[in-house]
């Protein structure tokens, strides 16, 4: 049974090269999560906004004949789908070298996606919904709030 262990909205997700410490990591290819956040702060709405999302999933059979397919959508407060990610195959081509097999409940994948120029029509609570093989496995609210503009009357000036 699939379980989404975490969903992390962030400013950017970067896959790092493999290293010799992979034995202590859950994945041979670690990921850097830059600017994790609980809400998105555009300067105005409506706008186009870029951000990333990192999703951690447990309970995967990554070596089955038909690999699990991960997809997700972002829905506006009015119920409009503003972003739909195409399904991503979670099949691994081979187990990591010198790695004992994990029990099915611990087999995992961490997937990061950079979402570029998604349209955010209004402020409010957006919903990120994650599906695996077409079945909804998790959902998380992501608030969108305008970043307050600096008051020009109180801005520092050089004389």
pLDDT tens-place string over residues 11-38? 999 988 765 444 444 555 678 999 999 9
Q: For residue 158, is it within any domain? A: no
Q: CA-to-CA distance for 93 and 80, rounded, in angstroms? A: 36
- The number of folded domains in the chain is 1
Q: Write the pLDDT tens digit of every residue in 83-136.
A: 999 998 887 656 666 777 777 777 788 889 889 999 999 999 999 999 999 999
Q: Which run of H or E residues covers position 47?
A: strand 47-58
Q: Is residue 37 part of a domain?
A: yes
In the chain, count H helices and then E strands.
Answer: 0, 9
User: When comparing pLDDT for 9 and 157, which is higher?
Assistant: 9
* Residue 114 falls inside a structural domain: yes
Say what the pLDDT of residue 27 is.
55
Is residue 140 one of the residues assigned to a domain?
A: yes
As a three-state string, the secondary structure of 98-151 is CCCCCCCCCCEEEEEEEEEEEEECCCEEEEEEEEECCEEEEEEEEEECCCCCCC
Q: Which residues span the domain enclosing 73?
A: 3-16+27-147
Give the whole-angstrom CA distance, residue 120 versus residue 78.
11
Tell me whether residue 138 is in a domain. yes
In a domain, residue 72? The reply is yes
- Give the per-residue pLDDT at 21: 46
CATH of the domain at 45: 2.60.40.1930
- Residue 153: inside a domain: no
What is the reported pTM? 0.81
Task: Evaluate whether residue 159 is within a structural domain.
Answer: no
Contact 109, 54 (CB under 8 A): no
């Amino acid at each position: 049974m699939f379980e989404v262990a975490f969903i992390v909205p962030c400013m950017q997700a970067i896959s790092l090269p493999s290293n010799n410490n992979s034995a202590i990591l859950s994945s041979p290819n670690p990921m850097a999560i830059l600017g994790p956040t609980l809400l998105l702060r555009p300067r105005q709405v409506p706008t186009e906004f870029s951000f990333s999302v990192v999703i951690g999933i447990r309970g995967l059979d990554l070596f089955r004949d038909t690999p699990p397919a991960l997809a997700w959508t972002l829905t506006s407060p009015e119920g409009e789908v503003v972003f739909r990610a195409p399904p991503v195959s979670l099949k691994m081509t081979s187990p990591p070298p010198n790695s004992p097999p994990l029990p099915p409940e611990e087999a995992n994948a961490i997937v990061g996606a950079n979402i570029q120029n998604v349209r955010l029509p209004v402020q409010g609570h957006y919903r990120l919904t994650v599906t695996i093989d077409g079945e909804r496995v998790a959902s998380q609210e992501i608030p969108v709030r305008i970043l307050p503009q600096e008051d020009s009357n109180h801005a520092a000036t050089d004389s």
